[in-house]
Amino acid sequence: MALGAWAQQPGKLPTFLGTATPSSWYQWTAAFVQRLRELGWVDGRTVAIEYRWAEGRSQRYAEIAAEFVRLKVDVILTSGGAVLAAKQATSVIPIVFALANDPLGGGFVASLARPGGNVTGLSLQATDTAGKRLGLLLEVVPGLRRLAIMANADNPNTRLDVREVQAAARTLGLEVATVEIRRAEDIPPAFEALTGRADALLLWPNHS
């Protein structure tokens, strides 16, 4: 997940916050800079881009979003879990998210047709496919009765997806145990706690 901003004057201070690390987001930031160049926005000449990286710590989103507001950047570019932090930090600076799972369900926009406010962008709508993934699992494990879901509890996009899976599971008469992970250290004891309690484990991806 990445957050950024750019300005028309290189003397201003636009920023780009990545939820992970520079190396993991290199191909996306490089494509972003290249496309700006093709449109006449050259970093260091007609536009300035400064990067910030949360390095996987979601608590950093609000801190960096607040810094953007103090710097009075022109536009904030973001994705995933950082969208809400940016929206909570400002209702004035335009916010464009490169990708979000469910902007409507996440409270980012008023509607997909008319987002309103200062937030807009592209939607992945992964919640629409959550139930379908469960259906595929049932095909692989036809005798499935007890399902365990392991997911990052601090990721708002993941929480939306998990709720969709839980609802689909209930309609199928499945017993569901949801295990919330917040740190890597939580994973081994979570597996131990699920021993004998589930027929299958659904590891939900940590969407940024």
3-state secondary structure 10-38: CCCCCEEEECCCCCCCHHHHHHHHHHHHH
* Confidence category of residue 146, pLDDT binned at 50, 70, 90: very high
Q: Could you tell me if residue 208 is inside a domain?
A: no
* Confidence category of residue 160, pLDDT binned at 50, 70, 90: confident
pLDDT average, residue stretch 160-177: 83
Q: Could you tell me if residue 170 is inside a domain?
A: yes
Residue that wins the pLDDT comparison between 19 and 64: 64
The CATH number given to whatever domain includes residue 168 is 3.40.50.2300
Which domain-ending residue is among 98, 123, 148? 123
| Interval 2-15: pLDDT, tens | 445 544 455 455 56
Q: Are residues 164 and 99 in the same domain?
A: no
Which structural domain range is residue 23 located in?
A: 2-123
| Interval 42-69: pLDDT, tens | 888 888 887 888 887 888 899 999 999 9
